[in-house]
Amino acid sequence: MRETPGVSARLSTLLLVATLLAGCGGRDQSTGSGAAKQAKSRSAAPHAATRAQALAFARAVNLTSADLPGFRHSPKHDSETQREKRFTERLRRCAGVSGSASAGGGGALAEQDSGSFRLQRDVIELSVSSEVSVERRADLAARELAVIRSKRVRECFASYLNLVLKSQSHAGATLKPVSIQAGTPPAPGAAGSFGWRITEPFTVRGVRVSLYVDILGFVIGPARVTLVSSGAVRPFPAQIQQRLFALLLARASAQA
């Protein structure tokens, strides 16, 4: 079965912007006071005294090839391209968040991703990755959670993503607006969690296709752990997604 034209390129764009959003969410200075108080009160939160400890925590939590047999692993490049930097900066401005450092925090102690794990069968294309960000204080991670949960960020993201995808549309393609559904996946022991389902329906050459990206995450102490999964034609399998989310939560709790 031949691949529908433009599917891989559009899915790559969705994943790029979704990953950038997941990584730049929480430098807002004005939101999240309630969540911050909640995070400060958690005695079981992981405390990252040094960057080395924060990196060790991230390595212990992130997904590995052993977690996804049959998927092909592709390490993420170490530095942002100019295009990615422009994406990141525009998303931050739209969402009303400042640069890379929180007030008084000096930025995250460590940010590390798992790289991408991919599986393709005919027109079905699946991808999944994880990212761990460790802040200097629990209240900063809680502030990130509040920002990602906000309606303003979802609206900003949807509007910006529609513009990006429209600029990449091919002749004969019919676009529909991106939809974002928000939820709160169960995360026992965490200070809080978040979940997005991003759906992009479009028709090209008479073929109707939907692309799906799920962003799930939780905050535990100063750490924010994010799972990004995607599917072309159909969503990433829910059973595998739930297993991976539970695995990340168990690892983070054990490290705490």
pLDDT in tens, 214-256: 999 999 999 999 999 999 888 999 999 999 999 999 999 999 7
Tell me the per-residue pLDDT of 183-211, one tens digit each, with 9 for 90 and over. Answer: 999 999 999 999 999 998 877 677 787 88
Scanning the structure block, which residue is given the tokens 């460790």? 134
Angle between helices 82-95 and 151-167 (to 10 degrees): 140
Structure confidence at residue 190 (pLDDT):
95
> Coil, strand, or helix at residue 8?
helix
Are 152 and 96 in contact, with CB atoms under 8 Å apart? Answer: yes
Q: For 77, which DSSP code? A: P
Structure confidence at residue 157 (pLDDT):
82
Q: What is the Cα–Cα distance from 80 to 88, expressed in whole angstroms?
A: 10
Scanning the structure block, which residue is given the tokens 């906000």? 150
Structure confidence at residue 67 (pLDDT):
98
Structure confidence at residue 154 (pLDDT):
85
Structure confidence at residue 27 (pLDDT):
42
Residue 215 region by backbone torsions, left for phi larger than 0, else alpha for psi between -120 and 50, else beta: beta
Domain boundaries, the chain: 7-255
Structure confidence at residue 178 (pLDDT):
85
Structure confidence at residue 3 (pLDDT):
45
Low-confidence stretches of the chain (pLDDT < 70) are: 1-49, 77-81, 83-85, 87-88, 91-92, 95-106, 167-175, 204
User: In 3-state terms, the chain is what percent helix, strand and coil (to 5)?
Assistant: 40, 25, 35
